[in-house]
Amino acid sequence: MRRGSISLGQIKCDDCQGIIPHPERYLAIEKEDGTTERLCVDCALKRGCAHYKMERGELVLTFMEEEVGQKGEAKGEEQEAEKKEATGEEEE
């Protein structure tokens, strides 16, 4: 599972071995064997685990987090349908 975190100052990148200073963000990757790999922003970008996206005119770093259970809200459009029942009763 991948998770974006903020460094507290003692985080070392497992790829380039560089220190990730506070308040830089890093990517924590929990592996199947229980260990956690930490990647600095540069390495996460190189691996394709992070990308920049434009948000309100600014480039924002986004980690490709693996979250399960997030659903986009479905918009239900209410359509007002008027039913006109024409009952023509003709009596003679």
Site residues, Zn ion (CB under 5 A):
13, 15-16, 40, 43
What is the smallest separation between the CB atom of 34 and Zn ion, expressed in angstroms? Answer: 22
Residue 29 or 40 having the CB closest to Zn ion: 40
Contacts of 49 (CB under 8 A, 6+ apart): 2, 27, 29, 39, 63, 64
- Distance between CA 56 and CA 91 in Å, rounded? 68
Residue 47 or 66 having the CB closest to Zn ion: 47
Contact between residue 11 and residue 20 where contact means Cβ atoms under 8 Å apart:
yes
What is the smallest separation between the CB atom of 35 and Zn ion, expressed in angstroms? Answer: 17
Residue 24 or 66 having the CB closest to Zn ion: 24
What is the smallest separation between the CB atom of 49 and Zn ion, expressed in angstroms? Answer: 11
Complete DSSP assignment for 45-82: HHHTSEEEEEETTEEEEEE----SS--PPPP-------
What is the smallest separation between the CB atom of 59 and Zn ion, expressed in angstroms? Answer: 19
Residue 10 or 70 having the CB closest to Zn ion: 10
